[in-house]
Structure 1
Amino acid sequence: MSRSVLIVLSEFGYWGEELVGPVEVLEAQGYRLTYMTPNGRRPVALPPSLDPDYIDPPLGRSVTTRDMARRAADIDSSSRLDNPLSLSDLIPERPYYSSLNHLRELEEYHRRLASATEDLVASFDALVLVGGSGPIVDLANNERLHEVVLAFAAADKPILAECYGVAVLAFARNLETRESILWGKRVTGHPKEYDYKDGTGFVGVDFNMGPPPYPLEYILRDATGPDGAFIGNVGRELSALVDYPFITARSTPDATLSAELLVRVLEEGLRRYGW
């Protein structure tokens, strides 16, 4: 039976290798891939991720080989990303509490949300959140995406998140308890040591944010709680973890490994790796 995977990308720039890894691994497995962005706009790779001469400041070296730059550019310029699904079209928006008929609107919202997420989850075997700096802008605090993540988790289907895409998991919460779905889980992600001190940029916006607006490590440490853990693996070349249903990848080099772990989760029932 062929499997289907939903891949979510930012409209403000994804890191090339962090899409190449899942695409190449999952397509080699015969999986069907569908792409989605917050508003249905075509995603674009971050220019530094296509440049093998770009030196990653915290690591002090290039993180993109010439071969990977070519493979990432091939995907970025191909037609496969031309018509992504629109998250805003598929998932309703929660009404403001100040709306005039809030109770009725909230009831309607929950009816529409249940139908939309059930249809989406039924169509796919797994969810992938691609990293890069773009997710900081339009994925991390995207309530519609949080509802999709919660629905996949409730359906016991695996979710792979890379780099700053892991922030989506930290912020995906049941509004009754406000507890992160990562509570008690082991995850990896961008550690403080690997964060930029300056130069955080986005596609389509002439703006240098400087450092990232939040230290992801601190957020993940708080979100996982006393019985979970953030595992940065600083100084190790690779960092990818499985604490089912979550597969988390620290950064660019982990894209292929994390996708291979997703395959093992789906095909072999892998439930724990890396901790």
Structure 2
Amino acid sequence: MSKKILAVLSEYGYWGIELVGPLEKLEEAGYEVEFITPTGKKAEALPPSYDTTYVDPPLGTCVTTPLAAEKVKAFEATNRLETRQNLSELIPERPYFSTPDFLRVFEKYFSDLKIASEKVTEEYAALLLVGGSGPIIDMVNNQRVHDLILAFYKKNMPVAGICYGVAPLVFARDFNERKSILKGKHVTGHCIEYDYHDGTGFLHTDLNMGPPPYVLEYILSDAVGPEGQYHGNFGKETSVIVDYPFITARSLQCSFEFGEQFVNVLDKGLKRYGW
């Protein structure tokens, strides 16, 4: 099995420890993590994720610990994210239906996607979707991210998402079947009690979205259906769920536990955890 993991990062800001936490656990276990962004631009940690004075509005407390801030600043100083792949060059874009000679173009898309999917799943053992507010803009409803997820899912290979890195799993669907890949599964993600009322912001833009554009708890609950279950675990410090092939984590407090269970899935064949 490959010892390489592919991590998808937003170009509009990722939450520092949600990458650095699992990265540390994966590297301790001998895995090499490589990075990819939607259009190849460098990913950067959101400033609150290394600011120990930042008070999270819904939780009413400083959520960035001195240890997390130190680890995130140290990682950013390594310039490791200078080396990254461009998702738009790896996965083809699905054409518009108004494209001239649509059927031939559509057939080519599927043919090219099959080749790209085979290549990425041969090179990497698993996929990591890193959270933060940035993914709302360029990961959650990104067809290429969806197709990347499906490449691993269709080969029954681990797909791990934390915080808003869980959200793309709701929308990643086979184009013809259009059914949620989370149907019948157990997952976690931002519970409504953790959601902002205001201040959802991003790097490289002055946009204050206010609240997130969707309630992650609601769309996850709908996606898993009556046979599955969403676990918010509100009141518990962490919430990490493994229902293979998915490893999901609620928020930044789960980063190290998330990484530990990711390694357990890869090395020990863990199929269920947290429920």
Same fold (TM > 0.5): yes
Q: Deviations over 1:214-247 (max 9, x none)?
A: 1000000111011011100001001000000000
Aligned residue for 1:104, secondary structure, equals: helix
Matched residues in 1 for 2:14 and 2:45: separation?
5
Map 1:94-133 → 2, pairs under 5 A: 94-133=94-133
CA distance in 1, matches of 2:100, 2:24: 49
Equivalent positions of 1:118-267 (< 5 A) are 118-267=118-267
Contact 2:2/2:123 (<8 A) preserved: no
Determine the C-alpha separation between the residues in 1 that align with 2:109 and 2:3: 30
Q: In the alignment, which residue of structure 2 is the partner of 1:40?
A: 40
**Separation in 2, partners of 1:162, 1:85:** 21
SS across alignment from 2:259: helix
**Distance in 2 between the 1:268 and 1:147 partners?**
27
**CA RMSD after TM alignment:** 0.9
In 2, Cα distance between equivalents of 1:68 and 1:257: 14
Cα pair distance change 1:273/1:204, threshold 3 Å: same
- Matched AA of 1:48: P
Aligned to 2:166, the other structure's residue is in SS state: helix
Q: C-alpha separation between the residues in 1 aligned to 2:29 and 2:106?
A: 41
Separation in 2, partners of 1:100, 1:207 = 36
Identity rate, percent: 54
Question: Deviation at 1:98?
Answer: 0.7
SS in 2 for 1:221: helix
Q: How many residues align?
A: 275
Deviations 1:46-69 (A, max 9, x none): 111110000011111111111210
Q: Verify the 8 A CA contact 2:2 2:125 in the aligned structure 1.
A: no
Q: In structure 2, how many angstroms separate the alpha carbons of the residues matched to 1:77 and 1:238?
A: 28
Task: Give CA deviations for 1:82-112 in whole Å, capped at 9, x if unaligned.
Answer: 0210000111000100111100001111111
Contact 1:2 1:32 in 2 (8 A): no
SS at match of 2:167: helix
Shift of 1:2: 6.3
The CA deviation string for residues 120-142 of structure 1, in whole angstroms up to 9 with x for no partner, is 11100011000000000000001
Is the Cα–Cα contact under 8 Å of residues 242 and 272 in structure 1 kept in the other structure? yes
| Counterpart AA for 2:231 | I
What is the deviation of 1:77? Answer: 2.8
> 2 CA distance for matches of 1:231 and 1:68?
25
1:6–1:126 Cα contact (<8 Å) kept: yes
Counterpart position of 2:63:
63
Return the alpha-carbon distance in structure 1 between the equivalents of residues 229 and 188 of structure 2: 8
Partner of 1:89, secondary structure, is helix
Say whether 1:274 aligns with 2:269. Answer: no
Contact 1:40–1:83 (CA under 8 A) maintained in structure 2: no
Superposed structure 1 runs of 4+ greater than 3 Å apart: none
1:53 alignment partner in structure 2: 53
Partner of 1:24: 24
**Quick one: distance in 2 between partners of 1:114 and 1:134?**
28
Q: Give SS of 1:147's match.
A: helix
TM-score, normalised relative to structure 2: 0.98
TM-score, length basis structure 1: 0.98
Q: CA deviation at 1:3?
A: 1.0
Query: What letter matches 1:23 in structure 2?
Result: L
User: Could you tell me which amino acid in structure 1 is paired with residue 203 of structure 2?
Assistant: V
